[in-house]
Amino acid sequence: MSRLALFLSALVVVLFLAALVIGPANLTITQSLKALVFGDGGPMTLVMREIRLPRAILGLLVGGALGLAGAAMQGYLRNPLADPGLIGVSGSAALGAVLSIQMGLAAALALALPLMALGGALVGVVLVLLLAGPRGSSLTLILAGIAISAFAGALTSLVLNLSPNPYAASEIIFWMMGSLADRSMVHVWIALPLIVIGAVLLSTLSRGLDALTLGEDAAEAMGINLTRLRLSLIFGTAAVVGASTAVAGAIGFVGLVVPHLLRPWVSARPGALLWASALGGAAMILASDILVRVVLPERDLKLGVVTALVGAPLFLHLIYRTRRWGA
Amino acid sequence: MPAGAVRPMSVSVQTSKLTLALGLAGALLGAPVTARDVPKRVVSMNLCTDQLAMLIGGQGQIVSVSQLAADPRSSAMVEQAKGYLTNHGRAEEIYLMQPDLVLAGTYTARATVRMLERLGINVVTFEITNSLDAIPEQMIQMGHVLGQEAKAAGLVAQFEATLAEYRADIANRPKAALYHANGYTSGDRSLAGEILTVAGFENIAASAGYAGGGVMPLEVLAMAQPEAVIQSAPYGGGSRAEEIMDHPVVAALRENGEAGGLTDHDWMCGTPFVLQAIADMTDLRTRIQEAAE
């Protein structure tokens, strides 16, 4: 397990550095790292510190948040199909973010953007948990998720179509697919506090989720406070997904793919899967963001496209397997 | 632009003669001798044809202009537009205005234009203006379709005289970038690019490889270090597309150089109002050069 931690950490570091040295400005590796660390006040420093650094940090944060949220939801629901994107939490967060921008709240107070997104995500999580029930059978969970996703997506489109801003309507795709293009340090500072708070809340779940694998009664017998666990899960997930979506749009499938790939490596223990998925999610978003910059640098290919190309086939595979095992 | 100056002038001499004998004009232009009537009910459904028609059209000749003509963000003739009916570019409403001529842009909703043509309405489409040289041509074309050749010729002469005053050899050109929503930049071969050049700036889009315009990454803008970043004013409601104009990189360039001028309604269409844009940009350039000294 510690070898897994070492491997994932090394992978994240390598991808983070790669994200820093790849870009359209054609700087050499030494040039760019020197400009980043020492800073000569010239254009290279500007590129490194104001464009590439925030993008790489956001990739790390958003990926970690989505991987963590996916692992936590899956552990709590004991269902491998629970992904914040698929069950409508990201979509609801995007609706909150769009509302805060279009109502002018985000312009008045920077933190209104992630807070409104958190509010949207909170509504999404609570709705999905209520609809799917405490044990969350796969079918009801996915159906509830589809309904919430579709409704939140429609409302997001409606708000953007009603906006007086002619560019707003064309941004429906950003809110549905997500992108890290042209983000700045401002966005890092907007997202960071809520992601940290949410991550701390979710990391306290580790022991509870492990205990929950034995069933709710057994978990309670082991001294796990299920109400507190549930509240931490709801607020933690809403905080990390809300803050991520507020700055990067709704990126799907990260919370599905990463826990699935890493589960065998942590002996299927949901508690250990939390930190592993956070690292894995960071690696996946950093790699996807490098990919969109290398493959189609001119087109601002959305991150969600890449994650869906990887994630959707896996999702189908999981559905097929769930059906065969008779959920 | 010597060649451009000569050609439209010769046309305007010709057209002023033609207005004396409209029948003869019709014959020369290949229309039936008596049938070249001056249109009496003209509806324009494109922002740019709106403004040209309002400038060149005769008293009571224009019935309706598009709703954009009354939008101060896009139109340089908001006050004038109040005197006309507003249309929203829908075939039905335009047909009910019973126009004898409809003016549209080549990119105006094709289906609507075709529908109007099927209904037997004469539709004239105008090309998008991508250069300063095309402006006199369009004014002459508008004068011709409205039967106002003399008026158009007068405006053309005025336009070209003023433009010629701005066209001077500028030895020391400050670098500037046109940077719009989504990071779109206008290259040299565009109306905005030509406005910038005539006003004495060097457009960095060309040297950065975006001569034809396109989406220029922030990194490229940062590396080019323009002395002025010229942007459009953001719309209400907020959008991610326009957020890029407040990115710290753009803000830093604004600090290093000169505050970005705003591309407003004067830049939108190939009308004589571009002269105002050129004047504003020339002022900006003079300020930058004086600050540098």
ipTM of this predicted structure: 0.79
Q: What is the pLDDT of residues B59-77, one digit of tens each?
A: 899 999 999 999 888 899 9
The burial of B125, by beta-carbon neighbours within 10 Å (0-12 exposed, 13-18 middle, 19 or more buried), is given as middle
User: Above 80 in pLDDT, residue A111?
Assistant: yes
Residue A255 sits in a domain whose CATH number is 1.10.3470.10
How far away is chain B from the Cα of A77, in angstroms, using its nearest Cα? Answer: 35
Q: What is the pLDDT of residues B30-48, one digit of tens each?
A: 443 334 578 999 999 999 9
Whether B248 and B146 share a structural domain = no
Whether B30 and B160 share a structural domain = yes
In which element (H, E) is residue A326 found?
Answer: none
Residues of chain A with Cβ-Cβ distance to B243 below 8 Å are: 182
| CB of A99 less than 8 A from some CB of B | no
Instruction: Provide the pairing of β-strand B123-126 with B184-185.
Output: unpaired
Does residue B53 fall inside a structural domain? yes
Whether B17 and B146 share a structural domain = yes
**In this complex, do B239 and A23 lie within 8 Å of one another by their Cβ atoms?**
no
| CB of A41 less than 8 A from some CB of B | no
**In this complex, do A104 and B219 lie within 8 Å of one another by their Cβ atoms?**
no
Contact at 8 Å (CB) between A102 and A159?
A: yes
Does residue A59 fall inside a structural domain? no
pLDDT for A327: 45
User: How many angstroms separate the CA atoms of B229 and B258, rounded?
Assistant: 8
Does residue B267 fall inside a structural domain? yes
Q: What is the pLDDT of residues B250-282, one digit of tens each?
A: 888 877 666 667 788 899 899 999 999 999 999
Say how many C-beta atoms besides its own lie within 10 A of residue A80's C-beta.
18
Tokens coding B52: 């040209």
pLDDT for B259: 66
* pLDDT class of B18 with cuts at 50, 70, 90: very low
User: Which residue of B220, B223, B231 is the best one to mutate when testing the A interface, meaning the one whose CB has the most A CBs within 10 A?
Assistant: B223
Does residue B169 fall inside a structural domain? no
Q: What is the pLDDT of residues A183-219, one digit of tens each?
A: 999 999 999 999 999 999 999 999 999 999 998 889 9
Q: Which residues sit opposite B202 in a β-bridge?
A: B175
User: Above 70 in pLDDT, residue B243?
Assistant: yes
Pick A47's closest partner by Cβ from B183, B222, B239. Answer: B222
Whether B219 and B182 share a structural domain = yes
- Domain stops at, among B140, B164, B188: B164
- Domain stops at, among B164, B186, B210: B164
Whether B77 and B36 share a structural domain = yes
CA-closest candidate to residue A73, choices A165, A199, A202:
A202
Residues of chain A with Cβ-Cβ distance to B225 below 8 Å are: 43
Residue B194 sits in a domain whose CATH number is 3.40.50.1980
Contact at 8 Å (CB) between A69 and A243?
A: no
What is the rounded average pLDDT for all residues in chain B?
A: 83
User: How many angstroms separate the CA atoms of B194 and A141, rounded?
Assistant: 58
Whether B147 and B192 share a structural domain = no
Residues of chain B with Cβ-Cβ distance to A107 below 8 Å are: 238
pLDDT for B258: 63
The total domain count for chain A is: 1
Q: Pick B58 or B33 by higher pLDDT.
A: B58
| CB of B236 less than 8 A from some CB of A | yes
How far away is chain A from the Cα of B127, in angstroms, using its nearest Cα? Answer: 23
User: How many angstroms separate the CA atoms of A249 and A191, rounded?
Assistant: 12
Q: What is the pLDDT of residues A263-307, one digit of tens each?
A: 989 988 999 999 999 999 999 999 999 999 898 877 778 999 999
**In this complex, do B237 and A170 lie within 8 Å of one another by their Cβ atoms?**
no
Least CA distance to A42: which residue of chain B? B223
* Residue environment code for A120-142, b if the CB has 16+ CB neighbours within 10 A, otherwise e: bbbbbbebbbebbeeebebeebb
**In this complex, do B242 and A44 lie within 8 Å of one another by their Cβ atoms?**
no
Does residue A168 fall inside a structural domain? yes
User: Which residue of B67, B216, B219, B220 is the best one to mutate when testing the A interface, meaning the one whose CB has the most A CBs within 10 A?
Assistant: B219
Whether B146 and B231 share a structural domain = no
Does residue A297 fall inside a structural domain? yes
Query: By percentage, how much of chain B surpasses pLDDT 70?
Result: 86
What is the rounded average pLDDT for all residues in chain A?
A: 90
Instruction: Provide the pairing of β-strand B214-215 with B184-185.
Output: antiparallel
Mean pLDDT to the nearest integer, A252-272: 91
Does residue A303 fall inside a structural domain? yes
Does residue A275 fall inside a structural domain? yes
* pLDDT class of A93 with cuts at 50, 70, 90: very high
**In this complex, do B222 and A170 lie within 8 Å of one another by their Cβ atoms?**
no
The total domain count for chain B is: 2
User: How many angstroms separate the CA atoms of B224 and B250, rounded?
Assistant: 12
**In this complex, do B252 and A298 lie within 8 Å of one another by their Cβ atoms?**
no
Residues of chain B with Cβ-Cβ distance to A184 below 8 Å are: 247-249
Does residue A290 fall inside a structural domain? yes
Whether B19 and B96 share a structural domain = yes
User: How many angstroms separate the CA atoms of A227 and A249, rounded?
Assistant: 30
Whether B276 and B160 share a structural domain = no
pLDDT for B28: 42
User: How many angstroms separate the CA atoms of A272 and A264, rounded?
Assistant: 11
Residue numbers of the domain that contains B135: 2-164
User: How many angstroms separate the CA atoms of A180 and A189, rounded?
Assistant: 15
Whether B155 and B14 share a structural domain = yes
Residue numbers of the domain that contains A303: 65-324
Q: What is the pLDDT of residues B184-216, one digit of tens each?
A: 898 888 899 999 999 999 999 988 888 888 888
Residues of chain A with Cβ-Cβ distance to B241 below 8 Å are: 167, 170-171
Q: What is the pLDDT of residues B119-150, one digit of tens each?
A: 999 999 999 888 999 999 999 999 999 999 99
Whether B116 and B49 share a structural domain = yes
Whether B148 and B184 share a structural domain = no
SS3 B263: strand
What's the per-residue H, E or C state across A70-98?
A: HHHHHHHHCCCCCCCCCCCHHHHHHHHHH
